[in-house]
Amino acid sequence: MVKFSEKLPKNFPLLRMRRNRMRTFSRKIVAENNLNVDNLIQPLFVTEGKNENTFIESMPGIKRHSIDSIVNEAKEIESLGIPAIAIFPNINNKLKDAIGSEALNENNIICKTIKAIKKECPNLGLICDVALDPYTDHGHDGIIHNNEVDNDETIKILCEQAIVQAKAGCDIIAPSDMMDGRVKKIRTALDSHNFINTIILAYSSKYASAFYGPFRNAVGSKINQSKISKNSYQMDPSNSREAMREIELDINEGADIILIKPAISYLDIIKSAYENYNVPIFAYQVSGEYSMIKAAANNNWVNEKDTVYESLISIKRAGATSILTYFAKSVAKNLKEGLYN
């Protein structure tokens, strides 16, 4: 009886794809994409109070920090080699109004936070959100007129907000409101105040996503205007070509970096942007994406370390330059300890 192996060609198979996967060193040297600490940006939440660092129930392991607490957090983040943080405010409801006027207060919680962090961590990049939803009593990103968010009136406030943040020392202004034409107006406003080197990170493709729930809880921006939907200004999840139009418009208006949000459910958008535009592309692994992984890990349904890495490398593989992720700090520690081999 002839053995099966004797029927095969002597050198079968000539090409063995598994050769490069066999050992750790060879997997490393042929890796098409790598996750580096330089690719990570840590979002942080700041609130009033002293030594405040209360956990956010809907985002396990994530806290709202007081200024002194967030400064300590920033120091640790910088020591891990993470190059930048994005800060978001949770303000007292008494400070909120219909037009988000607290956003223009040069002594508001964000401005005080910028100054405090820059004093201790001058080389850490600070990204500040330009939008009104944390400051409005209705929870929308702009000014409401005639039962809709008024695009042009909102932009006027956003330009002032951007100037206030730049004066405080913000490095990257990040308009996340999705108003039409706001990038050009903000660029012009910054330049006219001699902030010509302040970077604009445009939330170019921000989808009207169900994954934002935990974030809205974290900043206290629950929508109180049921007649108006964020669908009226954020992007429809069913559209992809429209995202390319949004990105192109923002680039033409002067955006230095574009951002796509959420990340995991929109890898095709990141990929298309990478293939079509020669600009840095950031992706935001948002609160709901974070909390889903955390919940599964806390129930021992998935391995957190490996699942987080796989989710982030998929975002890099799609074409993202850097990733805003609530896992940034833990991933940086794992990278430092070589736990992703």
pLDDT tens for the chain, residues 1 to 341: 555 555 666 778 888 889 899 998 898 888 889 999 999 999 999 998 876 678 899 999 999 999 999 999 999 999 999 999 999 999 998 999 999 999 999 999 999 999 999 999 999 999 999 999 999 999 899 999 988 999 999 999 999 999 999 999 999 999 999 999 999 999 999 999 999 999 999 999 999 999 999 988 888 877 775 678 889 999 999 999 999 999 999 999 999 999 999 999 999 999 999 999 999 999 999 999 999 999 999 999 999 999 999 999 999 999 999 999 999 999 999 999 988 86
Residue 208 near residue 235 (C-beta atoms within 8 A)? yes
Catalytic residues: 206, 261
What CA–CA distance (Å, rounded) separates 60 from 55?
7
Task: State the pTM of this model.
Answer: 0.93
Q: Give the pLDDT confidence score for residue 324 in this predicted structure.
A: 98
Q: Return the CATH fold of 35-336.
A: TIM Barrel (3.20.20)
